[in-house]
A and B are shown apart, each in its own frame.
Chain A
Amino acid sequence: MRRMDRRDFLKGSAALGGAVVLSGCGSSSGIKADTGGGASSVAPVTYGGDVSAEPNKLVISEWPGYEAGGTKAQTYGLLAGKSYTKKYGASSLKFADYGNDDKNLNAMKAGQKFDLLHPCVGYIQDYVNAGVVQPFDTSLLPSFGNLFPEMVERGKVNGQQYWIPWDWGFSSILYRKDKIDAADATGWELFWNKKYSGKISMWDGGSTPVEIAGLLSDPPAKEPYHMTADELDRAKELLIEQKPLNKFYWTSEYGNMQPAFKSGDIWITYSWPNDYKDMAAALGEDKVEFMQEPSQGILAWVCGFMLGKDTASPIHAHEYVESFIAHDACVDLTNLFAYGSSDSTVQVSEIKDQELATKLKIGDPKALDPPTHLEQWIPNRTDYQRVWAEVKAS
């Protein structure tokens, strides 16, 4: 046998490298233009078989705080998921930090696999287009019939139920009532008020700050979720103007936003109802306000569950979702986090803090109708993201 000398070796290596690179090129040829939807069939999906035949293991991409009750990860005492962990054991569940919709979507596009994920309504189409999810079999969800039909409808793509709604709420401005002049707290322009420079923190939320700037620009964007190139340019200018007023862009609700608000480092921030509840408890209701009616309209979202395309445990996944959309779990969601739930059977009388429920319009899905800006799919999301990237880099 002839010995391999350095030259031979290099030739071999180059050939191997070339083959690997070409295989990479091959995968690129698989990238096709969107067809605008996932499954072409509208026949309802069914998952047969025995649950015991499936691996008793679910990997779930979840927002921190929403992990199933009964697991070590759940530290807020959430009831949702408890019936599942009671039946199958807490150790059968593994949670990954969802981060945000953009991050999770890209992670899955890059090959990361989850059995279940918890995206918001604006990203349903993106996940379906990316081909990383599959439809639910709603016959396996006994509480499915209780859900608000308007929300359920939003989870359908090509006639298939790809998304099961669970939680909804508003996004608005959380501010220190004792530090901010009431006359200044009228709308989203509070983020642009130089009087509070260094005490403001906008969310590092990708497309969200762009949508806010779109509402504020002159003239305002007609559709904050479908902004034109000119509207995006105007939003970018506004955000660049706002940038130096921030102490920092917050990246983690519990990691840096809430601690900074609690300590007084920031007085004005983008937030959700649970933040108002937490900060009011920490600082006193007389010091904290959640702006319910910004003059340009409040933002709102609905989030829910999607089923990973390659899950080996679809029936387990359905049971898990059922443990979240069950009536008691939905009541608890509102009582614990001050969020609305998708369960239409929840009565106002079941909500502990009636005053808060009224203030946050919990249990009233009509509150999601205009002038509220309910999150929608953004067809040109990459343009929004590029605007935000350029704002941060400016």
Chain B
Amino acid sequence: MAVAEKATERRPTPKRVGRRRRGFHPGKGWLVLPPTAYLLALLIFPIVLVGMYSLFLLTNLTGVIATFSYQDWLDFFPDKWTFFPPWNTDSPFWNTFTKSMGITVLVSLLTTAAAYPVAYFLAFIAHRRRYVLLLVLLAPFFTSFLLRVLAWQVMLNNNGVINSLLWELGLRDQGNAVSWLINTWFSVGLVLAYSWIPFVALPMFVVMENMDRRLIEAAQDLGASRFMTFLRITLPLSLPGVIAGFVFVLIPTTGEFITPQLVGGSETYMFGQAIQDLFVGTAIDWNYGAVLSIWLMLIVVVLVAFSARFLTMDLREET
């Protein structure tokens, strides 16, 4: 009790309240003004503009008067839907969307699966060297993203590093290149996965690093094998990191256009490229581009909302 009394003594005297203020004293409400203005100007307003373009309330087409129309939305959605595969409809842009989502989900799954052992190694095996190794993992990402993709071009080209190596080792005839290494879905998937592995590994590492090790020890004390301990303790507890990592890849890759542009081919056209082409490329139509942009935005919002549920729930209760 003496300690409590001492603490009370040390507590600073509260300032007098209710004193009449002089001059201009903005309330706390004003503090939200700068970020709100920022969001309004740079996020909400552009989205509203894009939305207006999507409904033909604005247009960049010369000689066309802007009047409300949702025809571009109708054009985007197929008249005849197909489910196996979903990219066989009568709407080319819907087909591009579903194909892109397919490759995006596949890349995200593969990247997450590839990053998990990396994060596990850093968190549980690397011990003191883990931060050095983490830095090594991140080192290539200190250079420009564009340069790294271009470096992959050099590696994968028909006359690139990999094909030259195969020729030198006599594994293939000179000049007979493995042509599917570049300008295919393989090259697009590979480079996308490479680009995102560290970003997926990071949240997993953080979750594993902060895991309560006593639970693992307890499982082992109770006779669980290493595999069972991993399956029943480590894996469930690391799931928020896994989901966060998965979402970290999924969201940016849905709109990706640089990678397919540089290492893809005519058959690997992605949704992000379609948006880019419709706004600043060779098939310019801002109204239709706006429809695609808004749709992509809606999909991303749904994905975030869906994944947020898993990120916030306490998985320990379920184990």
A-to-B contact residues, CB < 8 Å: 1, 3-6, 8-9, 13, 16-17, 20-21, 24-25, 27-28, 31-34, 100, 102-103, 106-107, 109-110, 126, 129-130, 198, 202, 204-206, 243-244, 246-249, 251, 263-265, 382, 385-386, 388-394
Q: Given known contacts A246-B265, A246-B266, is B282 in contact with A205 (CB within 8 Å)?
A: yes
B62 interface residue, CB < 8 Å from A? Answer: yes
Nearest A residue to B51 via CB reads A21
Flag if B266 contacts A249 (CB, 8 Å): yes
Beta-carbon nearest neighbor of A106 in chain B: B284
Further contacts, 10 of them, CB under 8 A, given A5-B27, A265-B159, A386-B288 = A31-B65, A100-B282, A102-B284, A103-B284, A202-B266, A247-B265, A382-B61, A382-B285, A388-B283, A393-B269
CA distance A264 to B176 in the complex (A): 11
- A3 neighbours in B (Cβ, 8 Å): 26-27, 29
In angstroms, Cα B48 to Cα A12, docked, is 18
Query: When the two chains form their complex, are residues B282 and A102 in contact, meaning their CB atoms are under 8 A apart?
Result: yes
Shortest beta-carbon distance, A171 to chain B, in Å?
15
A-B contact pairs, 25 of them (CB 8 A): A1-B24, A3-B26, A5-B27, A9-B33, A13-B36, A17-B40, A17-B44, A28-B57, A31-B64, A103-B281, A103-B282, A106-B280, A206-B282, A206-B283, A244-B266, A264-B158, A265-B158, A382-B61, A382-B285, A385-B285, A386-B288, A388-B282, A390-B92, A392-B274, A393-B92
- List which B139-158 residues lie within 8 A (CB) of chain A: 157-158
Q: Would A389 and B277 be within 8 Å (CB), given that A9-B33, A100-B282 are in contact? A: yes
Which A residues are CB-close (under 8 A) to B175?
264
Whole-angstrom CA separation of A392 from B260 in the bound complex: 13
Which A residues are CB-close (under 8 A) to B95?
393-394
Do residues A389 and B65 form an inter-chain contact, with CB atoms below 8 A?
A: no
CB of B120 to closest CB in A, whole Å: 38
Q: What is B's interface to A at a CB cutoff of 8 Å?
A: 24, 26-27, 29-30, 32-33, 36, 40-41, 44-45, 48-49, 52, 57-66, 92-93, 95-96, 157-159, 175, 179, 183, 261, 264-267, 269, 273-274, 277-278, 280-285, 288
Known A-B contacts A28-B58, A386-B285; A392 and B280 likewise in contact (beta carbons under 8 Å): no
Q: CA–CA, A301 to B60, complex, Å?
A: 26
Q: Known contacts A13-B40, A388-B283; is A247 also within 8 Å of B266 by CB?
A: yes
Closest B residue, CB atoms, query A35 = B63
Contact of B283 among A1, A21, A126, A386 (CB under 8 A): A386
Taking CB atoms, residues of chain A closer than 8 Å to B48 are: 17, 21, 24
A5, A16, A20, A390: the one contacting B29 at CB < 8 Å is A5
Contact A9 B36 (CB under 8 A): yes
A109 contacts across to B, CB distance below 8 A: 60, 62
Q: Is the CB of B261 within 8 A of A251?
A: yes
Contact residue among A8, A16, A34, A243 (Cβ-Cβ distance under 8 Å from B267):
A243
Supposing A247-B183, A389-B274 touch, asked if A25 and B57 sit within 8 A by C-beta, the answer is yes
The distance from the CB of B177 to the nearest CB of chain A, in whole angstroms, is 8
The interface residues of chain B lying within 8 Å CB-to-CB of A388 are 282-283
Min C-beta distance of A178 to chain B, whole Å? 13
* A8-B58 Cα distance, complex, nearest whole Å: 31
Find chain A residues with CB under 8 A from B26 CB.
3-4
> Bound complex: CA of A17 vs CA of B49, how far in Å?
11
Residues of A contacting B62 in the complex (Cβ-Cβ under 8 angstroms)? 34, 109, 126, 129-130
Q: How far is the CB of A385 from chain B (nearest CB, A)?
A: 4
Specify which chain A residues have a CB less than 8 angstroms from the CB of B66 in the assembled complex.
28, 31
Contact between chains at A103 and B280 (CB < 8 Å): yes
- Give the residue name and chain of the A residue nearest to B278 (CB): A389
**Interfacial chain B residues near A28, Cβ < 8 Å:** 52, 57-59, 66
> What's the Cα separation between A6 and B28 when bound, in Å?
9
Q: What residues on B are CB-neighbors of A25 within 8 Å?
A: 52, 57-58
Query: Considering the chains assembled together, what is the distance between the CA atoms of A394 and B97 in angstroms?
Result: 11
Given contacts A5-B29, A34-B63, A251-B261, contact A204 B282 (CB under 8 A): yes
Instruction: Name the distance in Å between B271's Cβ and chain A's nearest Cβ.
Output: 9
Residues of A within 8 A of B44 (CB): 17
Q: Are A243 and B266 in contact (CB under 8 A)?
A: yes
Q: Which residues of A contact B264 (CB under 8 A)?
A: 248
Contact A107 B283 (CB under 8 A): no
Is the CB–CB distance between B157 and A33 below 8 Å? no
Complex contact B65–A20 (CB within 8 A): no
Please pick, from B157, B273, B280, the residue contacting A107 in the complex, using a CB distance under 8 A: B280
Contacts of B92 in A (CB 8 A): 390-391, 393-394
Question: Are A392 and B283 touching (Cβ within 8 A)?
Answer: yes
5 nearest CB pairs, A to B: A389-B283, A206-B282, A3-B27, A34-B63, A393-B92
Within the complex, the shortest CB–CB distance from B43 to chain A, in Å, comes to 11
Which partner residue on chain A sits nearest B67 by CB separation? A28
- Known contacts A248-B264, A394-B95; is-contact A198 B278 (Cβ 8 Å): no
- Which residue of chain B lies nearest to A200 when distances are taken between CB atoms in the complex? B266
The smallest C-beta distance from A136 to any residue of chain B, in angstroms, reads 22
In whole angstroms, what is the CA distance A9 to B35 when docked? 12
Cα-based distance from A392 to B261 in the complex (angstroms): 12
Nearest chain B CB to A16's CB is how many angstroms away?
7
* A250: nearest chain-B partner, CB-CB: B266
Give which listed residue, B27, B45, B158, B269, contacts A263 with CB less than 8 A. Answer: B158
Q: With both chains docked as a complex, state the minimum distance between the C-beta of A191 and any C-beta of chain B, in angstroms.
A: 12
Known contacts A9-B33, A248-B266, A265-B157: A106-B27 contact under CB 8 Å: no
Minimum CB–CB distance for A37 against chain B, Å: 12
A166-B288 Cα distance, complex, nearest whole Å: 35
Q: Which residues does chain B contribute within 8 Å of A389, judged by CB atoms?
A: 274, 277-278, 283, 285, 288
| Residues on the B chain within 8 Å of A9, using CB | 29, 32-33, 36
Bound CA span A8–B269, Å? 48
Report whether A392 and B269 are in contact in the complex, using a CB–CB cutoff of 8 Å: yes
Chain A residues near B45 (CB-CB < 8 A): 17, 20-21, 24
Which residue of A is nearest B24, CB measured? A1
Interface centre among A28, A251, A388, A391 (most CB of B within 10 A): A28
Partner of A110, one of B60, B266, B282, B283: B60
Chain B residues whose C-beta falls within 8 Å of the C-beta of A33 in the assembled complex = 63-65
The docked-state distance in angstroms from the alpha carbon of A110 to that of B280 is: 10
